Structure 1
Amino acid sequence: MRACVLTILVVLSVTSAARAQEVPDAIRPIAAMVRRGDEAGALAALRALPEETRAHPAVRYLEGRLAERTGALDAAIDALTGGDTLPPAILRDARGRRARLLARRGRCDEAEALLAALERPDAIERAVRAECALVRGDLAGAEAQLAREASADERDVDAFALRMALAEAQLRAGHRDRARDTLRALWLERPEHPDAPRAEEAYVAITGSTIEPSVEERVDRAERLSRALLHDDAVRALEGIARPRDRALAARLLHVRGMALFQSRHAYAEAADVLTQAAALPGPTAVADAFHAARARSRAGDDAGAIRAYRALVRRAPQSDQAAEAEYLAAWLELRLGRRTGARAMERFVSGPRAARAPRLAREGAWQLAIDAFRRARDRRAYLRAAARFEAYARMDADVLVRGRGTYWRARALAEGGDRAGAIAAYRQALHVEPLHWYALLARQRLIALGEEPGSPFAREARGDATETTALALPAEVSLLLALGLDRDARERLRSEERALRAQGDLRQVADAFVRIGDANRAYRLTAQHESLARPALRGERWAWEAAYPRAFESAVSEAARAQRLEPELLWGIMRQESAYDPDALSYADAIGLLQMLPSTASRVARGLGVRFEREMLFVPEWNARLGAAYVRGLVDAHGVPLCFAAFNAGGHRVQEWLERAGARGVELDLFVEEIPFDQTRNYVRRVTTHYAHYLYLRDPSRGWPAIELPERVAPR
C-alpha cells in the first residue's frame, strides 16, 4: 500500500461535494457499471429503480446519455427533457444533445426551436440547423449553410457527412452538375473516410458511370491515403497505372507508390526497386527517394547493397539534408557487419564536415566508435582507450541517455581495464545523473558486485516538512459527472476549466484536482519535469511524485495484475510509456487505450480467457488492463524483466532471434540492450525499466533503492 500522503487537503467549499451527494445512493453501482463500459446493463438497472429515484434530474440526464449510447433515441429524447436544476453546463449539454437527437428523428421543428434558444451554438449544432433546412425544403438555405459548415471542417463535425448532405441539397434544387462535382471532389479529397465509397455510389446514381480520375488525381488521392497512414490502400489506389510519359508526373507517381510500399513495412524489396526508379528521374524528391531506397534495401536484408546505395547518394548530393545520415548509416552498417573498414568510415564521418552540421548523428557516431572499441578491446590499454571515448561521448549532451550512458560505460571500460578505483568513482557518478534511471540501476548492481555500498539513489535531500495546502473546489458539473460514472466527460470538462483553476491555485493544487478526478494523464503531464522528482519522495516532495507517477485506474489495474500474478507497478510502467495513462489513446497502427493493445492481439488474448471480444472494449480501462495483463504475463514467463518490455514493443519472436544470435552462453544484459538493432525498442526497454523502478520505489521511499534486480546475463530460453 502506498504510504498516506502527508499533505492535509482542506476543502473550504462544500458546493461540489453537496452536488455529488445530491445523486441518490442507488446510482453508485450503476455508475460503476458505466465506468466498466456496460452501458446496456447500466440502463437496465437504472430503469429498474423506483420512479421517484428515476425522476431525479441527474438520474434523468444519465438515463438520456445511456439511451443515446445504446441507440434508444426516442427514450433519450424523453429523458433529456427538463432538468432545470442541473448545473448550467450539464443543462446546456442536455438541451444540445436533445436537439441533435430530435433532428436525427426528423423532428426538425422541435430541434430548431431548442437550438434557437441556445447561446453560442457549437459546430455540431450549426450543422444540425443546416441539415434541418434541407429536411424542411429550404434548399437554397440548406446549400449555403452546408457549404459554409463543411468548409469550416471543425474537429467535432463530420465534414464528409455535411458534403454528402450538400450534394443532396444541390441535387434536389436541380443543380445536377453541382452535385456531381461535389461528390467527385469528395471522393478525391477524402479517400480515408470510411464512407468514401458512398460518394462514388451517389456519383454513379447521378451520372450512370464511375468516377474516372486522371493519373495526377489518382496520385493525389494515394498521397492523401498515405498521409492518413493507409499505406496499403495507397498502393492499391495506384495499381494498374502505366508509367506516364511526362517525366515529372512519372517521378511523382513512383515516389508516392514507393513511399507507400516502404511505409507499409512489409514490401521493402519492392519499395527499394520503385524508389530507385524514382530517384533516377529529375524532381524535388529524387535525393529523398535515393535515401529511402537505400533504407529499404537494408530492411529487406541487403545490407551490402544498402551501403553502396548510401555512398552513391553522398557522392551524388554531398550537401543535401540526407547526405549526413547516409554517410553515418553506411559506416554503421559496416560496423554491424563486422567489417574492418567500419571504424575508419565512422571516424571519417565524425571528424568530417557533415557531422558538424548534424550533431545528433555526430553523437551517435561517437557512441558507435566507443562501444566498438569496448567490444574489440583485449588488453588494459585498449579498455582505457574505450573509456576515454565513452567519457568524450558523455560530454556531448546533457541528456540522461547520453550522460548516463557514457558515464556508465566509461565505468565498465575502466573496470575491465583494471582501474577499480576509477570504475567505482564513475559508477557513483552514473548513479546520480538521474535518480533511478536505467543506467543508475545498472551502476548500483555493478557497485554491489564490487563489494561497494551504493548509498542513496538521490544526490539531493528532501526539503522540509509537508506544508498544509487547500484543495481547489471542483466545478459542480465535474462532481456530478463523476458521481454518474461519466468520467471521460468529467475529465474533458475539468480540462476546459484549467485556466480558471490556475488562476485560483498553484501547480500543486491544480495537479491535485486532476488526481482527484482520476485524470492521471493530465496530472502526469503537469508534473513530469518537476524539480521535486530529483529528490526523495518524502515530506514536501511526495505530492509531485504521486502526480508524475500516478496509480492510474488503481482498482482496475490492481485487480488485473493480481489475476495474472503480476505487480501492478509493472503495468503502470508500461502504461506510462505507451499511453501516458490516457484511456482514449489511439495510435496510427490502431493500438488502443492504456496499454496500447492491438485489436488482433487483444482478440487472441480474449479467446484464451474465454471472453467475447469487441474492439471498443479496449477503450474501457477495466478491459484494457485485464487483456493487457494477460498478454504481459506471457511475455514475463517467456523473457523475464526487462526483456519482456522489448517483447511488448518489438514482439517476442524478435527478442528470441536476438538472443539466439548471442549464442547459448548468452550475453551481459547491458551489452544486449545496447545492441538491440531497433532504436525505438532499445529506448523503450531503458525507459520502461526506469518507470517500473520509480513505481517500485514509491512503495516505500524510506528504503531508498527499490526492490528490483536486473539479470547480469541473458540467454535464449
Structure 2
Amino acid sequence: MATGAIFVGEVVRRTRSWWREGAAVRSGMMLVPLRVMVGALAAAMATCNTPSSSPPSLSATAPAATQESAPPASPPERRFDPDVVRPNPAAPVGQILLALSNGEAERAEAIANQVLPDAPEETRTELYWLAARAALESGAPARAHATLAHVTTPTEGAEHPLAPWARLLRARIMMEGDAALAAEEVAPLTELDWAGRDDARDLQAAAWVEAGEVERAEPLLRALLAESSASSARASVALPLAQLLAQRDEVDAKVEAIRLLRRVATRAPLSSAAREAEERLPALLAALPPERRRDLREPTPEEAFARAEALSSAMRWDDAEAAFHEVAQRAEDDGLQCQARYQEGRAIYYRRQRGRAAQHLAGVARDCAQEEVRAWSRYLAGKAYAASGDHELARQQYGLLEEQTPGHSLADDARYRGALLLGEDGDEDAMVERLRTLPSTYPGGDMHGHARFMLAWRARRAGQREEALAHLEGALAEGTQEDREDLHGRAAYWRAVLLLELERPDEAREAWTELVETHPLSYYAQQALVRLSELSPAAAESARARWGSRGDASITFAWREDFDTPAFGRALALLEVGAIEEAKQELAYVRERSSAADDELRWVEASLYDRAGAYPEAVYLTRRFLDAFLTAPPTDDHYARWRIAYPRAYADVIERAAQDRPVPAELIFAIAREESSFRADAVSVAQAYGLTQLIVPTARRFAQRVDLRATPSTLTQPATNVTIGAEFMSWLWQRYPDNPVVLPAAYNAGQGAVDRWIDERPDQRLDVWVEEIPYDETRRYTRRVLQSWGIYAWLNGAELPRLRPALPSR
C-alpha cells in the first residue's frame, strides 16, 4: 500500500462527527442473510498501514528553508484501499460473522458477549451491533433492543456511523410494545436529509397510527403516498393508512381503504403484505352498502392487470397466464384487452408450451391493431412455431411482422430469423437473398453484423471461402454488433480461419494475434490461441505474452470528494459488519449525489462488495456497467479488476469439492458464476437451486453418491450445493474423457442432446461444433462457461484449459 493511503478507521472516525451535521444514508434496516460472507471469511484480512495524518500544510509548521536545504517534499497522494472492509476470520468480528452465516445465532451472541468486556474501543460498537443482530435471530428482541442502546450512545461526543441504523432498528422493535415510544425514537431521523429519511417517516407514521395519533399520522401518510410511484405497492404506507381509514364510519373512507388494500394486494401479490391486505378486505367490503359492495367486490381490470404484471415479473408463469386470461375476459377497453392477451401468450411461451403459445399469439396479432402488441405477438409466435418444428407457419409470422409493422425494431430480427429457417429447409438461395438485403432494407437495424456473419458461415460451409471472407470483412468494417460477452471477437476469429483455409497463413497468424490482444481471454481469443499453437507454437506463445505477467489483486483508488461524505463512511462501517443491503443503499446514495458519478466510482463500489464477500453484487456491477475492462489484459493493476469480476467466491468449498474429482476447480468456479453469479439462494423459474443451479431430481440422483440430502432448502447451502454439483460435473467429465470441454453444453442441455449432436457431426472441430449447437441458449452458455473457465485458469495460474479441437469419441 502506498504511503499516504487513508483507511476506514479515519473515515469512520470522521463520520461520527459528520452525522451530527445531518448527513446520512438510505436504509430499510433489513436484516439480511450473511451467507455471502462465507467466501470472504476464507481469506485473512490484508495488513493495512496506519491512517495518514493531515497534509503537512495543515498539521505542521516546517522549519524555515535555507540555501542548503532540500526542496520540500510533495505531500503523499491520498488513496483509498477497499481492503479495509475485508473480514478477518481470526478476529472476533469475523468469527461472529461466520457463526451467523452458518445459522449459529446463539453461538455468535456468546462470542460477542465474551469478548466485549475487554474489546478495544474501536471495535466495541461493531460487536454490540452483531450481538444485537444475533439476539434478534435467536428470537430475543428485548435483548437486541437493550444491546442496540450501546450502538446509539455517543462515544467521546460523537455518534458511531452505525448509530442511525441502530436507532431505526430499535424503533422497529419498539413497535411491538410501545408505538408512541417508537415514534419518539425515530423522530430525529425524519428531520435529517438522508436517504433513510423515508424509511424513518414510514415508521413514524405507522407508529402514530398504532398509538392513535390520527391527526399526526394521516397527513404524513398521504404525503408519503403522493411521493410514491403509482406502480409500487408502497405497503409500508398504504397498509397503515388503510387501517386508519377503515376505523371511520364514512363510506368514502372505507372505499378509499379498500382501494389502498387492493393496491398492495395487486402490486405485490407474493408478499406477506399482500396476504395481510387480502385478509382485511372481506370485513371492509361487508361494511359497505350493497350497491357499493357490488362495485368493489372484484379488483378493477386495471388492478388485476397490475397483479398479473407482478406475477410475470416474478416469472410465475402459470399464475401469470391465469391472471392475464382473467383480465382479457373482463376488460372492456380494447387496448387493455389486447395487452392482457399478448401477456397471456407470452406466459404460455415461457411455460414452454410452444404450440399453444404460437396459436394464441398468432390470434392476438390478427385481432389487435396496436403496433407494439402486434409486432411482439408475431415475433413470439414465429419463435414458438419454429421451436415446435413448423417452419412454414413460423416464416409466415415473421413475414407478416415485416409487412404489417415495418418500422418496428423487431422487423429486422424477423427478417433474420425467417431467413435462417429458409436455410434450414434447404432454400439456400432465398435465405441468402433475404440476409443480403437486410442491411439495406433496415438501415437503422441492429442485425446487420449477424446477417453478414451468417452469410459468411453459409458460404464457408458451401466451400465459397472468398465470398465468406468478403462478408466477414464487410462486417468488421461496418460493425459486427458483437454486443454480447460471448460474441466478442467472433467475426475476427472466423476471418482468420478463412485466411488460413485460403492458404494465407501469415495473415491468419497476424489476425489471430490481433484478436488475442484486442479481446484478451475471450472465448474466441482462447480458440485463437489453439489455432495459433497448431500453426506455430512460437506465435502462440508470443501472442499470449501480450497479456503480460499476472498482477496482484490489490487495488486502490485516487481520493475523491465522495469518500469525504458521511454516507460513504457509514457504508464502510456497514460492510464491516456484513450489513450488505444497508450498505448498498448507502453507496447508492453516494452515487446519486456524486458530482462525478463515473465508472471509477462504480469500481469503488464493486471492489467494496468484493472485499466484503458480497460477490453477487460485485459481479452484477462489472457485467452491467463496467464491461469495458474486458478490452485490457489482466496484468499489473488491471488484474484486480478482472479478479473482482471473476472472484474466487466460496473458494474453500469449491476447491474442496474439486480435490478428489477430475473436474478442475476453475470449471466449477466458471459454472457457479454463469449459473448464479455466486448467489447461494438463487432459485430459477425452472426451480433450479443454489450456486450451481441444480434441479431437485438431478440433485437427488447425485446426492446419493456423496451421502447428502437434496431438497430445495439444502440446495441453497453452499457446501451441499457445490458438492452435489461437482459430483454431477465429474460424472459428465468421465462421460467425455477425451475432450471434456463439451461438458458445459451437457450441463445446460443434458447429455442426451450433446450425445446426439456429437453423433450427427462427429468429424467437426470443436469450434465449428459449438457454433452450430442448435439451441440458442446452450450455444451462448457453452461459450460463456468456456470463456470463464479460461479466465479463472489464467487468473489463478497463468494457464489456459486445453480446448482440444477433436470432439470426444462415442
* TM-score (norm. length: structure 2): 0.72
SS in 2 for 1:683: helix
Offset, 1:656: 4.0
Offset, 1:101: 0.8
Paired residues of 1:325 and 1:361 also in contact (CA < 8 A): yes
Q: Aligned partners of 2:267, 2:604: CA distance in 1, in Å?
A: 46
Aligned to 1:714: 807
Q: Aligned partners of 2:644, 2:309: CA distance in 1, in Å?
A: 42
Offset, 1:131: 1.7
Aligned to 1:148: 223
Q: Aligned partners of 2:634, 2:386: CA distance in 1, in Å?
A: 46
Distance 1:265 1:654, change over 3 A: farther
Distance 1:107 1:660, change over 3 A: farther
Aligned to 1:163: 238
- Larger displacement relative to structure 2 (568-577 or 292-301): 568-577
Paired residues of 1:203 and 1:211 also in contact (CA < 8 A): no
Paired residues of 2:183 and 2:208 also in contact (CA < 8 A): no
SS in 2 for 1:455: helix
Paired residues of 1:393 and 1:406 also in contact (CA < 8 A): yes
Q: Which letter maps to 2:414?
A: A
Aligned to 1:404: 489
Offset, 1:232: 1.7
Quick one: which of 131, 136, 143 aligns to 1:75? 143
Paired residues of 2:519 and 2:525 also in contact (CA < 8 A): yes
Aligned to 2:12: none
Paired residues of 2:348 and 2:356 also in contact (CA < 8 A): yes
Offset, 1:283: 2.4
Q: Aligned partners of 2:395, 2:238: CA distance in 1, in Å?
A: 50
Aligned to 2:742: 643
Offset, 1:226: 2.6
Unaligned ranges ≥5, structure 2: 1-42, 55-80, 287-292
Q: Aligned partners of 2:154, 2:723: CA distance in 1, in Å?
A: 39
Distance 1:459 1:146, change over 3 A: same
Q: Aligned partners of 1:402, 1:136: CA distance in 2, in Å?
A: 60
Aligned to 1:413: 498
Offset, 1:542: 4.3
Q: Aligned partners of 1:418, 1:297: CA distance in 2, in Å?
A: 43
Instruction: Determine if the alignment matches structure 1 residue 688 to structure 2 residue 785.
Output: yes
Aligned to 1:390: 472
Aligned to 2:347: 260
Unaligned ranges ≥5, structure 1: none
Q: Which letter maps to 1:387?
A: L
Quick one: which of 94, 98, 118 aligns to 1:32? 98
Quick one: which of 410, 413, 417 aligns to 1:322? 410
SS in 2 for 1:229: coil
Q: Aligned partners of 1:432, 1:27: CA distance in 2, in Å?
A: 44
Quick one: which of 522, 528, 542 aligns to 1:443? 528
Q: Which letter maps to 1:308?
A: Q
Offset, 1:496: 6.0
Offset, 1:565: 5.2
Paired residues of 2:654 and 2:722 also in contact (CA < 8 A): yes
Q: Which letter maps to 1:106?
A: G
Q: Aligned partners of 1:20, 1:410: CA distance in 2, in Å?
A: 46
Q: Aligned partners of 2:85, 2:391: CA distance in 1, in Å?
A: 66
Distance 1:429 1:410, change over 3 A: same
Instruction: Determine if the alignment matches structure 1 residue 130 to structure 2 residue 218.
Output: no
Instruction: Determine if the alignment matches structure 1 residue 114 to structure 2 residue 185.
Output: yes
Aligned to 1:674: 771
Distance 1:472 1:108, change over 3 A: farther
Aligned to 1:42: 107
Distance 1:142 1:635, change over 3 A: farther
Distance 1:610 1:545, change over 3 A: same
Q: Aligned partners of 1:317, 1:25: CA distance in 2, in Å?
A: 64
Quick one: which of 162, 165, 172 aligns to 1:93? 165
Paired residues of 1:9 and 1:469 also in contact (CA < 8 A): no
Paired residues of 2:682 and 2:691 also in contact (CA < 8 A): yes
Q: Which letter maps to 2:665?
A: P
Paired residues of 1:189 and 1:221 also in contact (CA < 8 A): yes
Instruction: Determine if the alignment matches structure 1 residue 562 to structure 2 residue 659.
Output: yes
RMSD: 4.7
Paired residues of 2:438 and 2:451 also in contact (CA < 8 A): no
Q: Which letter maps to 1:205?
A: A
Aligned to 2:255: 177
Distance 1:246 1:437, change over 3 A: closer
- The higher relative CO (CA closer than 8 Å, separation ≥ 6) is in 2
Q: Aligned partners of 1:233, 1:418: CA distance in 2, in Å?
A: 59
Paired residues of 1:219 and 1:256 also in contact (CA < 8 A): no
Q: Aligned partners of 1:61, 1:520: CA distance in 2, in Å?
A: 23
Q: Which letter maps to 2:498?
A: A
Q: Which letter maps to 2:773?
A: I
State percent identity of aligned pairs: 26
Aligned to 1:269: 355
* TM-score (norm. length: structure 1): 0.80
Q: Name the count of aligned residue pairs.
A: 694
SS in 2 for 1:89: coil
Offset, 1:228: 4.3
Q: Aligned partners of 2:306, 2:653: CA distance in 1, in Å?
A: 46
- Larger displacement relative to structure 2 (545-554 or 46-55): 46-55
Aligned to 1:63: 131
Distance 1:452 1:479, change over 3 A: closer
Q: Which letter maps to 1:74?
A: A
Q: Aligned partners of 1:260, 1:630: CA distance in 2, in Å?
A: 34
Paired residues of 2:358 and 2:381 also in contact (CA < 8 A): yes
Q: Aligned partners of 1:286, 1:21: CA distance in 2, in Å?
A: 54
Residues 622-633 of structure 1: matches in 2 within 5 Å? Answer: 625-626=722-723, 628-633=725-730
Offset, 1:585: 6.9
Q: Deviations over 1:438-470 (max 9, x none)?
A: 22222322233345532323575759999x997
Paired residues of 1:649 and 1:681 also in contact (CA < 8 A): yes
Paired residues of 1:668 and 1:714 also in contact (CA < 8 A): yes
Residues 344-359 of structure 1: matches in 2 within 5 Å? Answer: 344-352=430-438, 355-359=441-445
Q: Deviations over 1:659-713 (max 9, x none)?
A: 3443xx3532111111123434323322332232222223444xxxx24211223
Quick one: which of 288, 298, 323 aligns to 1:212? 298
SS in 2 for 1:687: helix
Q: Deviations over 1:266-287 (max 9, x none)?
A: 2221122222222222421234
Distance 1:463 1:532, change over 3 A: farther
Q: Aligned partners of 1:352, 1:529: CA distance in 2, in Å?
A: 29
Offset, 1:502: 9.2
- Larger displacement relative to structure 2 (600-609 or 387-396): 600-609
Q: Which letter maps to 2:390?
A: D
Q: Which letter maps to 1:407?
A: A
Quick one: which of 272, 280, 284 aligns to 1:202? 280
Paired residues of 2:708 and 2:720 also in contact (CA < 8 A): no
